[in-house]
Structure formats: structure tokens, C-alpha cells
Amino acid sequence: MSLDQEIYQQRRAKLGELQALGAAAYPHHYAATHRLAEIAAEYSGWDAERLERDRIHVKVTGRIMTLRGHGKAGFAHLQQAGERLQIYVRQDALGETGFAVWKLVDLGDWLGVEGYLFRTRTGELTVHAEKIELLAKACRPWPEKWHGLQDIERRYRQRYLDLTVNLESRAIFLRRDRLMRFLREAFQQRGYLEVETPMMQPMAGGAAARPFVTHHHALDIPLYLRIAPELYLKRLVAGGLERVFEINRNFRNEGISTRHNPEFTMLEFYEAFSDYRALMSWSEQLLASAARAVTGSEQVTFHGQTLDFSQCQRLSLREGVPRFWPVAAGPKPGPEFWADRSQLEAAVAAYNRYAATAGAGAPIPSPSGADAGELVMALFENLAEEHLVQPTIVYDFPLSVSPLAKSKPDEPDWVERFEIYAGGMEIANGYSELNDPEEQERRFRQQAGADAAIDSDYVRALEYGMPPTAGEGIGIDRLVMLLTDAASIRDVILFPLQRPETVAEPEGLGG
């Protein structure tokens, strides 16, 4: 029998002993008078004399995190919502039966304690227990109290342990919650309506990622988990919901990395009678206020660097290529390299030679097959992205990589689109929305290929008329990473996708 199983059986047996003492193994409720945080807030200033004079009776609950037996007495720390409070028990205060219950208590158990506050010789605020009740037993052995749970895989798999033992992990999710509240409030104040659109879609549109496929039995049709809510949200704008936002999951059947989880949370929002310029300014303010709301400052530490959200740098995509051109790759492309096919291909060739020799990056495949826009985009992503540590708005993208964005009036091959980068990651993407149905249909057909299906209801919605609109998506998980200095997207997602585990059964319940 393994130690796990041995401990499991010992602790189940203790539940039986507890019932023999007249207690419930798993009681239904416990009426506490205080949260541990309330006790800390109200009585941390009280000295021993005052606590003795105005004796404060409390009933508290918490999980046992430390346990120190002293013969016919003992100490423990209860933890509740990240707060700890010490309790002191002694046989003469608890009585024979109460003390027998104490003897059956283990690390990790949930306990209800009734008593009065006092200060120990070392001055620690402590509950002098008069009555204790086991509320739920930890039948599995608890992680080590000092080093805690380090194994990164187990921290994700068994988040319930991680959240209790690693309080910095708990703090990340409290910050995440604060960000979500802030964002909802900010959008409501700007007159936005929060909506929910289908996560199961008959066609996966709005982005170019591989979808997950499932099947609906009653209708006998394939359904796709959405890769973006975009096309549904814009239908709503066409329907007169002039400002809408949605915060929810997208699903992309692609690789997993420190910046990618197959399901991730996206904030998408659309406002009528607006354009990408307006959204750039508003996004800039939004990020600054979000940083302040969540961290208390517009300057945020991320991977040892200070990111300043008080203002975004701005840079056109086309400028980015010469700006971040590495010396080792030879002469910089000229300022209008993108307008001339031969200059562009020369730049790609120079970059590819550089990528091969320095091992500094991935080569850009098949320059002759790609159109100019794809090449400029590839150059930008390979050269610039990692340098965009300070919050930066990159604007004006090639049309060929932006099938849903509206062209620039004076440059038909370029669109009114921007992305926001910070910490070397893309965190937002927005544009003036294309609302000409014929133009949209042409671009869909070009993207999908002649025979492939396109979302013709979306085109139909545009045919009824969608007002001029600007929209944007913000990657919430990555934003949380920035605001919590997280190294991996998995640190900011409670249950990141992992290969399934086979759970060890504790051969409990007497076999």
C-alpha cells in the first residue's frame, strides 16, 4: 500500500472516530461571525490588555495550514481567502470531547473555531478556542508547508492546491478579476451593451485559424467552436446595437506555447460612427487606466523591464521594417521599399540570408508566391515584434492580410488597421470595419477560394447596411500576463489545457 493510500485510510478512519464522538463527518453549515480578514482589520491594533478587558467572542472558519501540538494544548494557523489567523487550543478549555476532536485534526482540514481573541506571549493575535468543529477533512496528504507545490504541471492540474499553497498564484487571479470588473465598467460608461454571441457556429469565421469541430446530433450538422465573435458582433451593429462588446472564449486548434492556449479570452468591441483613429486613442487611455486600476500604476514591471502604459508609441507597419532592420542583414530597405516589387523581394532575400546565418529567426517562405502585403507583414513580424516591449501602436496594414478592414481612402492596397504590442506580444488588433457588401464578398471569395463556402448571411447583413464602424479585439490573457508579470499564459488561466492525466485512486473506504 502506498503512503497516499495509507494516509487516506487513516484519515477516513478518523472521520469514523469523530462520528463516535457525536460530530458530523461532513456538517452542512457553520455560522461564522467574522471573516479572518475582518478580524485582522478590526483587531490588529488592539493590545493584550484591551482584548482581555473587552473580550471579543468570534466564530471563524479556515483551513489548517500549520499544526503544533503541545501535549494537552496546541496551536494552528487557519487560512481563509489568503489570510491567516492563529488558534490556541487547550484541553481544559475544550473539555475531554472537544480535545478528542482536536486530536483527530490534520493539516489541510477545514475547521470551525469558536472562542475569544487574545495575544500570545509573542504578541500574536490568536483565537483562544472554546469549541472546535471539523467542517471538512483533507484525506489526501498536503503539500510541503515550506516549499509548497513547485511542480508546474501539478500546479495547473491541481489548481485547488496551487491557489491555497502559492498565494502569489491566488493574487494573479484576484488581479484578473479586478481587470474584468474594470473593463466592464469602462465599457458600460462609454455606452456599450454587453452581449453574448454563438460559441458554436456553423462556419468558423472572423479569423484565419484552424477551428475545433464538433457535431450536433439532433440537427446532424457539423459545428465549429468559434475562432472569433467578430462577424456576429458586426451583425448586431448592423441591427442598430451601435456599441457592443463581448468578453468570452475563442478556440483555436493550434500550437500551445507560453503565449498561446487553445481556448483564450478575447474582449471584442464595436462602435458605430467611429474609425480606427478614434479607437487608437481610446485604447491607449483604456490600457493606461486598466494598468492603474489593476496595479495602482501606469508603469508596470514585466520580465525585469518597466512598461509605461501612460502613452503608447506609434509606428506604421511600413516604418517598422527599416527601423528594426538588423545591421548584420546588410543595407536597410529604402523608405518606400514596399511599393516596389523588386526592392521588396530583395529585402526578403536579404532577411532570409540573415535568418539562415545568424540563426536569428525563421526564413520567410516562397517570396515569389506571396503577394506584397504578405511579404511586408512577414518582414514586420519577424523583425519588429520582439522589439516592441514598450506599449506600441502599429498602424496601417496591407489589405491582403486584412480581409475585414476598410481601405485607406488614398491607398487602396492598405487598410485602416492597427495592432497594439507590449512586452513583445500582440495584445490588440483593431480596424475601421469594411461595410461595403460587394467588396466584402470579393475579399471572402479571394480568401476562401472559388468553391469554398463563405458567410453569405454576414454579407447579407452588410447589404441591409451597417453604419461606419470601428472594432477591436484585446487578448485578455496576455493583458493579464503584462499586469501580473506572468511568464506564461498558463499562469493566468485557471485551468490551461493539458494532456489528460490518469488520476491515482486512493483505495479508500476500506477497500
Partner RNA sequence: GGGGCGGUAGCUCAAUGGUAGAGCAUUGCCCUUUUAAGGCAAGGGUUCUGGGUUCGAGUCCCAGCCGCCUCACCA
Give the interface segment with RNA, choosing from 26-34, 238-246, 267-275, 374-382 (CB under 7 A): 374-382
Q: Choose which of 85, 228, 348, 462 interacts with RNA (CB under 7 A).
A: 228
Q: Which CB, 124 or 194, lies closer to RNA?
A: 124
Query: Would you say 213 and 222 are in contact if contact means Cβ atoms under 8 Å apart?
Result: yes
Q: Choose which of 42, 153, 185, 196 interacts with RNA (CB under 7 A).
A: 153
The residues pairing with 247 across neighbouring beta strands, listed in sequence order, are: 267
Q: Which CB, 299 or 446, lies closer to RNA?
A: 446
Cell of 312: 503608447
| Helix/strand/coil for 53 | helix
Question: Residue 356 interacts with RNA (CB under 7 A)?
Answer: no
Q: Choose which of 29, 53, 147, 217 interacts with RNA (CB under 7 A).
A: 147
Phi-psi region of 33 (alpha: psi -120 to 50; beta: other; left: phi over 0): alpha
Question: Residue 88 interacts with RNA (CB under 7 A)?
Answer: yes
Interacting residues with RNA between 161 and 190 (CB under 7 A): none
Q: Which CB, 90 or 170, lies closer to RNA?
A: 90
Nearest-approach distance from CB 454 to RNA, in angstroms: 13
The residues pairing with 222 across neighbouring beta strands, listed in sequence order, are: 215
Q: Which CB, 291 or 367, lies closer to RNA?
A: 367
What's phi and psi for 453, nearest 5 deg? Answer: -75, 145
Interacting residues with RNA between 403 and 462 (CB under 7 A): 403-404, 429
Interacting residues with RNA between 274 and 303 (CB under 7 A): none
Question: Residue 92 interacts with RNA (CB under 7 A)?
Answer: yes
Question: Residue 213 interacts with RNA (CB under 7 A)?
Answer: no
Cell of 191: 455606452
Nearest-approach distance from CB 70 to RNA, in angstroms: 4
Q: Choose which of 365, 387, 438, 495 interacts with RNA (CB under 7 A).
A: 365
Q: Which CB, 330 or 361, lies closer to RNA?
A: 361
Q: Choose which of 312, 315, 377, 461 interacts with RNA (CB under 7 A).
A: 377
| Count of residues touching RNA (by CB under 7 A) | 73
Q: Which CB, 145 or 314, lies closer to RNA?
A: 145
Closest CA to 201 of 400, 430, 447, 453: 453
Q: What count of other Cβ atoms lies within 10 Å of the Cβ of residue 281?
A: 12
Cell of 44: 490588529
Interacting residues with RNA between 44 and 83 (CB under 7 A): 66-73, 75, 77
Amino acid identity of 446? Q
Give the interface segment with RNA, choosing from 33-41, 119-127, 213-221, 285-293 (CB under 7 A): 119-127
Query: Would you say 351 and 378 are in contact if contact means Cβ atoms under 8 Å apart?
Result: no
Question: Residue 490 interacts with RNA (CB under 7 A)?
Answer: yes
Cell of 417: 488597421
Nearest-approach distance from CB 294 to RNA, in angstroms: 22
DSSP letters, 149-198, are ---HHHHHHTHHHHHHH-HHHHHHHHHHHHHHHHHHHHHHHTT-EE----
Nearest-approach distance from CB 220 to RNA, in angstroms: 29
Give the interface segment with RNA, choosing from 32-40, 242-250, 251-259, 282-290 (CB under 7 A): 251-259
The whole-angstrom separation of Cα 120 and Cα 420 is: 54
Nearest-approach distance from CB 456 to RNA, in angstroms: 17
Q: Choose which of 21, 33, 81, 145 interacts with RNA (CB under 7 A).
A: 145
Q: Choose which of 45, 191, 255, 465 interacts with RNA (CB under 7 A).
A: 255
Nearest-approach distance from CB 357 to RNA, in angstroms: 15
Q: Choose which of 12, 131, 184, 260 interacts with RNA (CB under 7 A).
A: 260
Residue recorded with cell 448571411: 457
Nearest-approach distance from CB 364 to RNA, in angstroms: 8
DSSP letters, 412-464, are EEEEEEEEEEETTEEEEEEEEBP--HHHHHHHHHHHH-SSS---HHHHHHHHH
Q: Residues 415-444, buried b or exposed e (16+ Cβ, 10 A)? A: bbbbbbbbbebbbbbbbbbbbebeebbebb
